[in-house]
Amino acid sequence: MSEHKDWLDGLVVGKNACKKCREKGRDNAGDNFHYYGEGQGGHCKSCDYTIPSDDVKKQSSSSYSKKAKPERVTQKTDYKMESEYGLKDWKKVRAELSHNPHGFRSLPLAVCKIYDVLHEFHPSTGEVVKQYYATTVGYKVKGHKIKIIEPKSFFFKGATGNALDLFGQAIFRNSNSKDIIITGGELDAISAYWMLVSKQREGYEPIPCVSPCNGEGGAYKQLQLHYEWLNRFQRIILCFDNDDAGREATEKAVKFLPKGKVYILNMDRNDPNEYLENKDTDSFWNAYWRITKYTPSGITSSIELEDKMLEYVSVPRISLPPFARVLQKMLVGGFAVGYIINILAASGVGKSTIVNAMLIHLAKALPDPVGVVSLEASEGEYGVNLASSYCKKKINLMETVEEKLAYLQQEDNIVKRKELWQNEEGDPNFYIVDADVENMQEKIEYLVRGLGCKVIVIDPLQDILDELSSEDQAKWMKWEKDLVKKEQVNIINISHARKSQSGAKANSRGAELNEEDMMGHSSIFKSGGINIVLGRDKEADNYVDRNTTVVRVTKARGTGRTGYAGEWLYVEEEDQLYDKGWYLNKHPDFGNDRDNKEKPEPKEKTGYSKTAKLPPRKAVAKEKVIETNN
């Protein structure tokens, strides 16, 4: 154990993180490696990484050299002998062991005889402690691969190496079956064979089931040496374990098998033996009849579309706040998962207020936290803005520091804000990323993969893209598209509009914007699954009009619905947004008092004509401005 000591010092007896899985970005739960204690070894249930026990190392020390790297197999004679293994050894093993598994892993005696699998039993308990699988070269027995049941480990007596025949190959060397199944290991091969042969009609050719001798991870090295034999079959069906390691092994193995002949047996359970142990032969038989032709990763066959369709329509949409009821109806229930949502508005229209209101709704409505990239407001300012909206009291309208602190420190307000900050389990409802744009992609990926955020809000996107070239802006949007699709999350980009053209109506006066008006590279609006444009005339004569945001959808992938999507009314004292029609129906006199107060005095008639020269302006004394820290 000395070569593993540094790592083993950190392990406890039981389930631990597997360092091999972690090197490949797997085992996030940290429980793949089962450690059995000092001197007893351990085994990873996912990638088969094994530390043998001291007893096993004594039997076959050379089989477990951590530093030894397998050489590339170049010829079929590339195998080695762990020890000389002759007819005398073979007869001794058969005499001392038994084909009968006595119910071990639900294996029947008949299939163990067919594959010549032998068992060794504990002298006291009678339980199976070892299984012996014959290793052959040129269809002649040259040794045994021995599996120790607990803790799980393997070693060889006699021949070993990638040039061995596949396990079971000698049995089916002259098979006329059109199909052959390749499993990840010996136990799964004999389990698959028994389940299939028990369902076949009498007189039909049994379906050969074989496996590599050196595990799933290195299966391709052995398969490439038996290309010619495998090529005699019409369909080569891969049935590796239903986990990340099995899928990775499949992708490697396909490259060394005859093109156009590889099929995949998709399992609901982890492996064939699990079907056998659960007496679920019918399900495995059905899975065999539903095999699909292999297509490279990223390519989906038309046969697979039925399942993909059901998966797609089963994903619930993300609901929107009550004030956006018209928009939600137009989007048929809200935001579809796995899209970029771009929200465009001119400067000063109130984008942040709208985003804050949406964030509050999402933080309370979603089971997962929301990630926020706040590039304009500090954490403290952001907190004040959110608290104002949630508690329906705009804190920034309070004139003195004392008034603000007194309000924030009221017990009922503290309790109220706690509802916003954390869920019922005490976990955060959202996370905020600071304004430093360095390594921003890594930070956002950590929000998604490390903290489980399903919605990311970037406010505003241009603060990240401003320093990037057009090419790099396009690369950023490509990264966003890949992230939302792969992780099935949403990114909400808040975008600034370009300056209005000379002579055109100002954007701040409610000019009708188009998605092409998004500041930055065209890939921004092109990447959006949903593009929403907001407009507000913040200098309108009427108070209600000044606080009305008109909403339009210019792109909605999936539904195709575009156009007018409602109007949102902002009530300043409450720091709240409402559906305008609903609110004015409840408060028909809203804004009238403001209009009367703010209505300018009528100007006196001067008698000057439009072309007359105006008198010089009188000097106006400037009032002294008293600065405060309010």
CATH number at residue 342: 3.40.50.300
pTM above the 0.85 mark? no
Question: Which of 131-140, 305-314, 321-330 has the weakest average pLDDT?
Answer: 305-314
Q: Which of 2, 9, 28, 5 is nearest to 17 (CA)?
A: 28
One domain for residues 191 and 259: yes
Single residue among 258, 276, 306 that ends a domain in this structure? 306
How much is the pLDDT for 271?
A: 96
Q: Are residues 93 and 36 in the same domain?
A: no
Where does the pLDDT of residue 94 fall: very low under 50, low under 70, confident under 90, or very high at 90 and above? confident
Is 615 inside any structural domain?
no
Tokens 């091969």 belong to residue: 189
CA distance 101 to 118: 8
> The tokens of 485 are what?
């699709």
| DSSP code, position 316 | P
Instruction: Output the pLDDT for position 78.
Output: 52
pLDDT at 604: 53
Among candidate residues 102, 101, 179, 165, the one with its CA nearest the CA of residue 136: 165
22 plus 119 within the same structural domain: no
Identify the weakest region by mean pLDDT among 112-126, 389-403, 503-517, 528-542.
503-517
- How many domains are there within the chain? 3
* Average pLDDT value for residue range 374-386: 86
Write out pLDDT tens, residues 539-570. 888 899 999 999 999 999 888 899 999 999 99
User: What are the b/e assignments for 263-282, b being 16+ CB within 10 Å?
Assistant: bbbebebebbbbbbeeebbe
336 and 417 within one domain: yes
pLDDT of residue 410: 92
Confidence category of residue 622, pLDDT binned at 50, 70, 90: very low
Cis ω for the linkage preceding 151 (within 30 of 0): yes
Q: What is the pLDDT of residue 5?
A: 52
Helices (H), 198-304: 219-223, 227-230, 244-254, 272-277, 281-289
From 33-37, 143-147, 233-237, 459-463, the region with the lowest mean pLDDT: 33-37
pLDDT at 430 over 80: yes
- For the cut 50, the answer to whether the pLDDT of residue 65 exceeds it is no
Closest to 209 measured CA to CA, from 236, 235, 238, 180: 180
Alpha-carbon gap, residue 300 to 297, rounded angstroms: 8
CA angle 388, 389, 395 (to 5 degrees): 20
Assess if residue 403 is contained within a domain: yes
Higher pLDDT, residue 216 or 180 = 180
| Domain match, 274 and 403 both | no
User: Domain residues for 174?
Assistant: 80-306
**Same domain, yes or no, for 474 and 410?**
yes
Tell me, yes or no, whether 620 lies in a domain: no
Give, in order, the Cα–Cα distances in Å from 156 to each of 8, 83, 447, 520.
Answer: 25, 9, 47, 63
Tens digit of each residue's pLDDT (9 = 90 or more) over 34-54: 766 666 677 776 776 777 766
When the pLDDT of each residue in the chain is averaged and rounded to a whole number, the result is: 83
Write down which residue in 250, 277, 306 finishes a domain: 306
Same structural domain for residues 34 and 105? no
- Of 306, 336, 353, at which residue does a domain stop? 306
Residue 627: inside a domain: no
**% of the chain beyond a pLDDT of 70:** 82
The predicted model gives 586-611 an average pLDDT of 62
Name the one residue in this structure whose structure tokens are 């679920």: 280
Does residue 619 sit within a domain?
no
Could you tell me if 98 and 200 lie in one domain?
yes
Do 488 and 405 share a structural domain?
A: yes
Q: Is the same domain home to 253 and 398?
A: no
Confidence check: pLDDT of 510 > 80: no
CATH number of 101's domain: 3.40.1360.10
- Say whether pLDDT at 12 is over 70: no
Residue 602 included in any domain: no
Average pLDDT score over residue span 526-538: 92
155-166 average pLDDT score: 87
Partners of residue 182 on adjacent β-strands: 210, 238
Q: What is the pLDDT of residues 327-367, one digit of tens each?
A: 999 999 999 999 999 999 887 788 888 989 999 999 889 99
SS (H, E, C) 520-562: CCCHHHHHCCEEEEEECECCCCCHHHHCEEEEEEEEECCCCCC
Report yes or no on 618 lying in a domain: no
- 513 within some domain: yes
Over residues 522-528, the mean pLDDT reads 92
Same domain, 506 and 555: yes
pLDDT reported for residue 55: 54
Task: Tell whether 419 and 505 lie within a shared domain.
Answer: yes
Sign, Cα dihedral of 303, 309, 315, 321 = positive
